[in-house]
Structure 1
């Protein structure tokens, strides 16, 4: 699939962007601080979201490799170690009310097309909350995921307080939020917090394979299904019927159903 150059990320310093016809891969690239999420990264995610809101595509978010502190010369994967503690320490009440991370994670969650988090290594604090905001989470056996905020004298305020309860249930959510529990890969898989485990060398191929399966669907049907899925219970079934009415008039519906009928005849 040929590269698409409609989005100019040449000035980015925290994210590395690869755009293709049907997807965008955003790699968090601040290895010196273990991909800590700072305001520069947040601003770059906002710019990327603005592009994807105008040009809906699947988004894959991943981390990068960092050099091991214990074994110089060796590297290991990391998704994101959380917010930048150096910046976080200086933030005050008004900064918290701005919702720096919560606003961008919610915007990522609301993107028109699905978001895939491909997680290798640590996803802690804000890094975990970014992963929760994705529609799909796949990981490597090296995954470590949790919320260490209360040990730092703060709370998880960028989505974990409510998304975790929806994703893993209240008992496990409370262990993560109040007792500092860190999940390993197998635990996260058993809890369905991640749905696939792959070796690090195979992770991005797996993310692209998942994106391929999504891209094979009708894009408008995917967009409407995602939007309807996340609406509150009281909106259903009426909104389902409206979405279906829109799709019943789409050319893709006629073309895809006719192709299905033609295959059955063979």
Structure 2
């Protein structure tokens, strides 16, 4: 980041599991997770307190197997474990670069990470550590998008950021529709009414009910996180009317 002071004191960053794959078909691309770790560390050094929620779609999707006949609760629990794998990988990437990071899980896995306890999470980020929240909400039927919204609200974050592979929210899929237009801003209700693929409805409703601003941006463009934290209007902002 530049010498400009960051606009936000505390953020919650939602990374999809797919974002970690890079050009791979499965798993984690070390180059991608390394670059993301560099950007997170740069933001942390600028004084921003950071919590991170990571999905598990690069390893396992519970909803997909449930549709094929697996018990949904079992599938969702497997998906939660996939997020723990990704969180540990991010912790490793951050620590190899000299940062202090803590993985906190919504399900108890004492041998590999801490339990998620709100007061402890706040303490970690206040001390400049990067807190990585794994296992979603700890409950089946809730996505990691909902977990990200929940953690952002619990931590009293100034902004919820969702990192994706597109540069914001469009009227239609820009990969399929060349005339799709990108929104600069949206309200929560517009997202729900238009059924825009931003986050699941439960996550958007949580953000709406607690006034949590949400910005969707392209994480594949290096430096975007820093630009947003300096106040640049990257991607699409979802907030109250």
Q: Same fold (TM over 0.5)?
A: no
Structure 2-normalised TM-score?
Answer: 0.32
More helix by share: 1
Structure 1-normalised TM-score?
Answer: 0.29
Bigger RCO of structures 1 and 2 (CA < 8 A, at least 6 apart): 2
